[in-house]
Amino acid sequence: MEKIIVPVDFSEHSEYALQTAAKLAKRYQAELLVLHMLEMPEMVLTSTGKKQNEKAGFLLRLTEQKFEKLLDKDFLFGLKVTPIIKHFKMFSEVNDVAIENGADLIVMGTQGASGFKEMFMGSNTERVIRYAEIPVLAVKKEVVDVSFEVITFACDFSEECIPAYLKALVLFESMNSKMYLVYVNLPNDKFKSSVEIEKRVADFFIKACGNLRRMKDVHYVSHYSVEEGVLNFSNKIGADLIALPTHGKKGLAHFFEGSVGEDVANHATLPVMTFKI
């Protein structure tokens, strides 16, 4: 991990993300790219009038002042930090900046109240996830320990999840993390027998790895929703991080298709990392 990018809006939650990213940067001797998408009205961006130019200049100077204050935090001392300011247009630009600068990870803060869906759906973080070609780490608070020794990787073991799984495998092996894979069996029309699940998982590993060695790392749980099953399993094994595959076009909603009872889900206090399918 050589470069970590952190989009910030100078909010409390984006500072949590920056603190977490700083710890990761120190751990892996990585460069920190701090990105602010400067949101300006379209008329300010396109107008050539003197007043509009003055307004644009004022907003830019204000942002630079906020940047200086943010980058003066003690937790950034000793790190290589590169500030980047871009005009806000599309959330896909975060991915563009990440790719342009060769970033390995995006770290974002999110203020979702409960569960994965509430943590992401409709948020700026979820919009960035839709476009991100690289992993996105979402945090709701400062992460004290970024060693991430125990990780839950949850998926339905469909063939389309293979690219996300392989990306996660490479990253977590480089971090010396222990990754547990979990399949959540749902009731009613989503229910599968043990034989059906095991065949699905075996086919997955044959296509992904050419062998079945990692089947020992797969755990099967039954629950009323994918979310509750993943959270309960993660609590049981003492996971430090939850990893999920996500579909670029469908976003995280694809992963939770068929899930029920999110309104009673446990609070997702663990950091969540997504990998694009």
Residues 93 and 152 in one domain: no
Confidence of residue 65 (pLDDT cuts 50, 70, 90): confident
Confidence of residue 39 (pLDDT cuts 50, 70, 90): low
**Residues paired with residue 230 on neighbouring β-strands, in sequence order:** none
- Cα–Cα distance for residue pair 241/119, rounded to 1 Å: 15
Residues 176 and 253 in one domain: yes
Residues 90 and 174 in one domain: no
Residues 104 and 5 in one domain: yes
Residues 47 and 148 in one domain: no
Residues 84 and 156 in one domain: no
**Residues paired with residue 82 on neighbouring β-strands, in sequence order:** 33
Domain span at residue 155 reads 143-277
- What per-residue confidence (pLDDT) applies to 216? 93
Confidence of residue 60 (pLDDT cuts 50, 70, 90): confident
When mean pLDDT is compared across 88-97, 117-126, 127-136, the lowest value belongs to 117-126
Give domain status of residue 136, yes or no.
no
Q: Residue 79 above 50 pLDDT?
A: yes
Give domain status of residue 62, yes or no.
yes
From 102, 126, 166, 139, select the one nearest 247 (Cα to Cα).
Answer: 126
pTM: 0.83
Residues 273 and 170 in one domain: yes
The predicted model gives 168-188 an average pLDDT of 94
Count of domains observed in the chain: 2
Give domain status of residue 202, yes or no.
yes
Give domain status of residue 275, yes or no.
yes
From 106, 133, 109, select the one nearest 120 (Cα to Cα).
Answer: 109
The CATH number of the domain holding residue 48 is: 3.40.50.620
Residues 21 and 94 in one domain: yes
The predicted model gives 224-238 an average pLDDT of 88
Residues 22 and 151 in one domain: no
Amino acid at the residue 96: D
Residues 102 and 158 in one domain: no
Domain boundary pick from 109, 126, 159: 109
